[in-house]
Chains A and B, each alone.
Chain A
C-alpha cells in the first residue's frame, strides 16, 4: 500500500464532481419534503433529465441548453406527480414509485438512437486569480459552471427557507397544511411549485451525469443515484447545509474507497463503501428515538394527503 500515490488536490477535485449530481437531486428533494410532500420519483426524474439533456446537447451542440431542457423535463415530469397527488389525491409513495418506473422506461425509449454517441461537454471555467492560486486553485476553482451553480442553489435554498416570507410559508405548509390553509395560504399551489423545483433540480443532476461526469448516454445510467439523494435528505435531517455535507460525504466516500484501492489498500474498503448507509440508518434511529428534539424531526405533515374540505 502506498498512500502517497493519492494526490489530495486531485482527490478533492474528483469528489466535487462525483458529488454534484446527488447534491442537486437531494437539495431539490429537500425542498419538496419541506413542503410536506414525499416524492420517491427522484431516480425517474434524474434519468429523464439525463437523457433529455444529452439529446438536446447532441442536437444543438450547446450543453448549457441541454441542462436547461433537462431541468424543464424534470419539472414537467414532476408536475405529473404533483397533479396526481395534490389534485387527484393519489397515494404519494405509490405515485412516486410509479414516476421512477415511468422515467426509467421513457428514458430508455428516448435514448435508444443516442447510445454510443459523444456529446459536447461543459468547459472547465478559467477563473482569473482564484484559479491560479496554488493548491486550492486546482482543487476548488477549476471546475465547470454546474459545480458552482449547485453550491449556489444550496445557499439560495438555505437563505430562502430561513430568511424569506415565502420560505416560511413553504415550511408552514409542510408542518401543518390545515393551519396554513386556515390562514389563507394556497397549500396545493405551494406544494406544486416545490414539487416542480425538486423535479428541475433532479433533472439538472441527471444531466450532469450524462453531460459531464460520464459524458455519454447509457440506459439506466443513474444506477440508484436518485435513491441515494433520498437517503441524503433524511441523513441531513431536512437542512440545506447538512444536505451539502451529506452529498459530499456520500460522493467522497465512494471516490475515496476507489482511490484507496488503487493505492493498494484491500482490507476494509467494503466497510467504507457501506458506511454512508450505516450512518443514514443511525440518523434515522436517532431521530425516531428522540422525539423531544424537534429540530431533527421530519416536516410534521410529510407524505400526508391534503384536502381543503376536511
Chain B
C-alpha cells in the first residue's frame, strides 16, 4: 500500500514537473519555416524581420524559432512535424510550396496553429493562410518605370509562371503604359526563386537588348548588381526587401535601385501571435496590402525627378486610402477581349487565379 502511494505521488510529481509547463503556457512559441537563407536580402530576410518584430513586441512572453533553407516537398513535412513536436504553438510556413506539407502536418496536430503564406488550402480548422497584395507595389514601380525609361523598353524577371507573378507583370505593365503609351515590356523567366548567377544573366540579357528599367520577381540582389555595371544608364527596384545598399553609389551619385517594394510581415505576425496569446485567434484567409502597411514602397532615390516622385507618392496615398485599385478598367485581355469595363475593379478570385496577360504585352505565358 505504501509502495503504491509512493508510486502515485511520484507519478503526480512527474506530471507536475514535466506535464504542467506545457499546459500552463507561460510563453507562446512561434516558429518559422523559411525557403531560402535569411541572408538572401529579400523574401526570407523580410519574413525573418517579421519574426524578430514579434519577439520585440512581446519580449519574454514569446519564444521564436526558425529553420532556414528548407526545401519545398517531403523535407518540409519533416521539418514542420519536428517543430510541432518541439512545442511550437503557432507555425508560419513561408513559401507557396509548403502548402500540402502544412495541411498534412496540421491534420496530426489539431492543437497547434498553422499559418501558410501565399497558398489557398485551408483543409483543417487550425490552418490559416496569408498573403500580401504585392501588385499594389508593382503598380507604383510600374509608373516609375514608364516615366524613367529612355529606350521605352522595360523588363520583368519572372520566377515561375504562377498567378502571383502574372498579377505582378500585368500590374507593372498597366501602370507603365498609363505613364508612357510607347512603353514595351520584355519578360524573361528564370525558373528559379534564388540563383544569383542566373538572375544576373537574365538582367544582362535584357540590358544587352536595350532594356533600361528592370524589376525582378526573384529573391536575390543580383539583378541590381548587374544593372549597376551600366553606370547610371539603367535602373532597377529592390524586391521584397529594401536592398538599400544599391540606393547610392560609392561616389555619392544615385545608385541603380531607384525605389523598392518591401514586404512588411511584422504587422501580421504581431497581430496573429497576439491573438493566439489573448485567446481571440480564429482561422482566417488574410490578403492585406498598402492600407494595412504590409506592402511598403521604400525611399525613392534622387535619380527619379521630383514630379515623378510626387505622382508615385500620390498613387501610394490613393491605394493606401482605399481610393484606387490598381486593376481598374478599362482593361482588355491580351487577345483584345474585354476584361474590366470602365471603372470596374478586379475581384480577388480572378486575381488569385490570373492566367492571362493584359492587352499590349507580347509573348505567351509558358505552361
Binding site for B on A (CB under 8 A): 5-7, 10-11, 14, 18, 21, 108, 111-112, 115-118, 209, 213-216, 218-225, 254-255, 258-259, 261-264, 266-267, 269-270, 273
Contacts and interface: CB of A to CB of B under 8 A. Distances in A.
B187 interface: yes
15 contacts: A14-B208, A116-B245, A214-B196, A216-B225, A218-B196, A219-B39, A220-B36, A221-B196, A223-B197, A261-B188, A261-B189, A263-B209, A264-B186, A266-B363, A269-B366
B136 to A, nearest CB: 26
B40 A218 contact: yes
Contacts of B37: 108, 219-220
Shortest beta-carbon contacts, A-B, top 3: A219-B37, A258-B205, A223-B195
B271 interface: no
B226 A214 contact: yes
A266 B366 contact: yes
Given A214-B196, A215-B225, 13 more contacts: A6-B208, A7-B208, A108-B37, A116-B245, A214-B222, A214-B226, A216-B221, A216-B222, A220-B36, A223-B195, A258-B204, A258-B205, A259-B205
A262 B211 contact: yes
Nearest to A268: B366
Contacts of B196: 209, 214, 216, 218, 221, 223
A254 B201 contact: yes
Contacts of A116: 41, 221, 243, 245
Given A266-B364, A273-B191, A218 B205 contact: no
A262 B155 CA distance: 8
Contact of B208 (A224, A259, A273): A259
A112 B39 contact: yes
B245 A118 contact: yes
A218 B363 contact: no
A108 B41 CA distance: 13
Contacts of A255: 201, 204-205
A219 B40 contact: yes
Contacts of A108: 37, 39
Interface in B322-367: 362-366
A245 to B, nearest CB: 20
A269 B189 contact: yes
Contacts of B187: 261
B209 A259 contact: yes
Nearest to B44: A219
Contacts of B191: 270, 273
A5 B184 CA distance: 13
A269 B186 CA distance: 15
A174 to B, nearest CB: 31
Interface of B: 36-37, 39-41, 69, 155, 186-192, 194-202, 204-206, 208-211, 220-222, 225-226, 228-229, 243, 245, 250, 362-366
A267 B365 CA distance: 9
Interface centre among A5, A11, A14, A218 (most CB of B within 10 A): A218
A108 B68 CA distance: 12
B205 A214 contact: no
A118 B256 CA distance: 13
B357 to A, nearest CB: 11
Contacts of B186: 262, 264
B235 to A, nearest CB: 17
Contact of A213 (B69, B197, B211, B220): B197
Given A266-B363, A270-B366, A7 B197 contact: no
A262 B188 contact: yes
Contacts of A11: 208
A46 to B, nearest CB: 11
Most buried by A among B195, B209, B363, B364: B209
Contact of A218 (B201, B220, B362, B365): B220
A209 B39 contact: no
Contacts of A118: 225, 245, 250
A223 B201 CA distance: 14
Contact of A21 (B41, B194, B197, B202): B197
B103 to A, nearest CB: 28
A74 B188 CA distance: 34
A6 B191 CA distance: 21
A218 B210 CA distance: 27
A128 to B, nearest CB: 23
Contacts of B39: 108, 111-112, 115, 218-219
A10 B188 contact: no
B40 A264 contact: no
Contacts of A273: 191
A235 to B, nearest CB: 19
Nearest to A259: B205
Contacts of B362: 264
B200 A213 contact: yes
A218 B40 CA distance: 6
A268 to B, nearest CB: 10
A263 B225 CA distance: 22
Contacts of A5: 209-210
Nearest to A118: B245
Given A225-B197, A264-B363, A269-B366, A218 B209 contact: no
Given A7-B209, A263-B209, A266-B364, A214 B194 contact: no
Given A259-B208, A266-B366, A269-B366, A223 B202 contact: no
Nearest to B190: A258
Contact of A18 (B195, B201, B365): B201
